[in-house]
Amino acid sequence: MTCGQQRRALALLCFAVLQATLLSLQLAAAAPVLPQSVGTSYKAAYHYVQCEADYVIEPGSTQELADAIKAYKQLAEEKGAQLKVRVSRRLFHSTTSFVCPAQLKSFADSPENKPNVISVAVLHERLNTTLSADPEKFTMRIGAGMKLREFTAEATRNGMSVQIGSLPAYAGLTMAGVMSTSGHGSGDNATSNICDTLISITWVDANGNVRTSSRDSEEGRLFCGGMGLIGVMTELDIQMTPPTHTKLITRYLANDTDIVGDIEKMLKVSPHMLVFWRPDMRLYSAYMLKPVSTSVPAGDAHMTLLPNYKGRTNMAHLFRVIQEDIFDETMRYSGIAESVLCPTVAANSVAKTWASDGKGEDVLFAVGKTNELAATECWDDCAWNGPAYNGTAEDVHLSIEWDDFQDWTTDIKNMFQYDLWETEYDKGRCLGPGYIWLRFGHGGPDYLSMHYDMKRPVYVQSTWLKSRAVMDRFPMRYGFITDLLEEVSLCKYKGRPHWGKNFARTFTHPSCSIKDRYPRSFDKVLELQKQHDPAKVFEPELWQKIRKQESFKMYPRCALDKTCYCQEDIHCPEQHRCIPSRAPGLESYKVCKPDWRLLPESGRA
């Protein structure tokens, strides 16, 4: 080789090395820059669900989230994996797995069939600031992760009021969480949910693009009640009002003989009403909120409907013992009779008042500032998450039509009459702490909302406390009543479930398809998914099962896990049998009841 040839070869070698170096630098520069992950799991305040994710992030702005989704999308493409993203918060307020990006074990396929997934959880609690406020138009632009208690405080700070009836009772929820799950307040053919006050939504799609949609757009109609199936809400424009005052009117501990007739009359006083009903005590209390002129002086009343149990007597051990006592033996021998227990339960449920004054005294009638009477918070010492009971809630929530409301209340009363008080031994029985909530709304165009295409929705919610310490072995005391209420409301009355409440079985009943509840809008939802998220980045597995109309699986003790409705004894907890309801017209529904054959001396076998 000549000198000239050597020089050319050396030059080519140097060029190749330089080219390879530049290429490696380009690849390194192009590698996705991932945001800091703050963990790999987050769980429900109710303790039923824990979500696992490869990455858990807390973006502080729309742009931060957009950049993050682009980075994870690139990472998934490089690894040949499917990207899954869901939005929630720490200690989320749900009993279902819609908030999980990766699938829970109870729904997972066998490991060899599990797809290659990169799962990302977006916790939106840092998206909680007021971005702008217009004092002339009375509008606020806020982060979608703002909690209701923050929202009412910000409204007050900016000289505005929330709209009466638009907020749920619990102030610890986030604005986007309420909107996306079809959460609501109460307003019979009147303002009854946050989306009634919504102007527009800023959101991030599966490609990391920032978009804005008006309330009445197709996308807006899916974000309200649509579980974030096409993207992540980050900013909300909300229509407020000038500062207003609200009058509280209470009908307290009324007899429930004609509860529907009574409600019809009270709704004429105000459409914004919540009712707590205890069929086992034949009592209800109704709380009406009515706008009044600001010329009427406002006192210091503030909402305290959901009490804070901090510093109260610890009832956790007794509560556990009562739940373990499926045959009522401890009650009989301890001297703690139903005649003592039931009044105590009443005082902590149907006898609660909507508000308290500045001295902490309960008030039945008051005029207060609307923002102070709109929602309530019990922080980390609620009945369902604090140490006082070591409890959790069984929370079932559906909408039915007003035209079916009378028949529904009759069936509920019959459940208690024939299934709770089924023998002479049982006449004094009552359920534990809890109640049935009754609220009211209006029909609307939101494709997956509880009120879509309805004439006059009634929101029925069954919330009861049970011991967390033994929930893996024992059902809630007399829980067969709430199981029956759930299935009858879902199937006989074609109830539409709240997406943040209920259990997986509510959405996967083999005979009561949720897809069939939305015959005029379901295909539209699928079209919007295909348009905005064809890779189904935002689709949770439980929604996939609804879409494919896949039913729950039966296995031993599945009714205890709230993953099935029993058909045979094997599906029930130990020492229970799967028995048809005794209530007239409900004999086709089965529930798990204590097997009294194990105690023949009781006379109930």
Express each pLDDT in 101-112 by its tens digit.
986 444 433 444
Cβ neighbourhood burial of 22 (10 Å; 0-12, 13-18, 19+): exposed
Q: What is the distance between the alpha carbons of residues 304 and 355, in angstroms, rounded to a whole number? A: 5
Residue 114's closest CA among 128, 102, 124?
A: 102
Average pLDDT score, the chain: 92
Confidence class of residue 424 from pLDDT cuts 50, 70 and 90? confident
Per the structure, the count of domains in the chain is 1
**Three-state DSSP state, 191:** coil
Place of tokens 């929604």: 543
Q: What pLDDT was estimated at residue 605?
A: 66
Q: Are strands 198-204 and 232-239 parallel, antiparallel or unpaired?
A: antiparallel
Residue 583's closest CA among 416, 462, 405, 431?
A: 416
Structure tokens at 441: 């709304």
153 domain residue, yes or no: yes
Q: Examine the pLDDT at 364 and tell me if it is beyond 80.
A: yes
Express each pLDDT in 178-192 by its tens digit.
999 999 999 999 999
DSSP state of 44: B
Cβ neighbourhood burial of 173 (10 Å; 0-12, 13-18, 19+): buried
Q: What angle do the packed helices 259-269 and 405-415 form, to 10 degrees?
A: 130
Q: What type of residue is 387?
A: P
54 domain residue, yes or no: no
**Three-state DSSP state, 147:** strand
174 domain residue, yes or no: yes
Cβ neighbourhood burial of 456 (10 Å; 0-12, 13-18, 19+): middle
Residues 199-231 as b or e (16 or more Cβ within 10 Å = b): bbbbbbbbebeeeebebeebbbbbbbbbbbbbb
Query: In the predicted model, what is the mean pLDDT of residues 537-548?
Result: 96
Residue 221's closest CA among 180, 187, 183, 164?
A: 180
Query: In the predicted model, what is the mean pLDDT of residues 30-49?
Result: 89
Residues 397-427 as b or e (16 or more Cβ within 10 Å = b): bbbbbbebbeebbebbbbbbeebbebeeeee
**Three-state DSSP state, 205:** coil
Domain range holding 189? Answer: 130-239
205 domain residue, yes or no: yes
Provide the total of helices (H) and of strands (E) in the chain, helices listed first.
14, 23
Q: Give the list of residues 6+ apart from residue 565 with CB closer than 8 angstroms, or none.
A: 483, 487, 505, 509, 559, 589, 590
- Report CA 500 to chain centroid distance, whole Å: 3
Give the H or E element holding residue 316: helix 316-324
Q: Examine the pLDDT at 136 and tell me if it is beyond 70.
A: yes
Q: What is the distance between the alpha carbons of residues 238 and 34, in angstroms, rounded to a whole number? A: 32
Query: In the predicted model, what is the mean pLDDT of residues 575-602?
Result: 94
- CATH number of the domain to which 210 belongs: 3.30.465.10
DSSP state of 399: E
Express each pLDDT in 475-521 by its tens digit.
999 999 999 999 999 999 999 999 999 999 999 999 999 999 999 99
Confidence class of residue 6 from pLDDT cuts 50, 70 and 90? low
Confidence class of residue 25 from pLDDT cuts 50, 70 and 90? very low
595 domain residue, yes or no: no
**Three-state DSSP state, 342:** helix
Backbone angles phi, psi at 219, to 5 degrees: -65, -40
Structure tokens at 374: 């709109």
193 domain residue, yes or no: yes
354 domain residue, yes or no: no
Total-model pTM: 0.93
Handedness of CA 506, 511, 512, 517 (dihedral sign): positive
99 domain residue, yes or no: no
Lowest mean pLDDT among 137-141, 230-234, 338-342, 542-546: 338-342
Q: What pLDDT was estimated at residue 336?
A: 61
Q: What is the distance between the alpha carbons of residues 472 and 460, in angstroms, rounded to a whole number? A: 27
Q: What pLDDT was estimated at residue 115?
A: 72
β partners of residue 239: 139
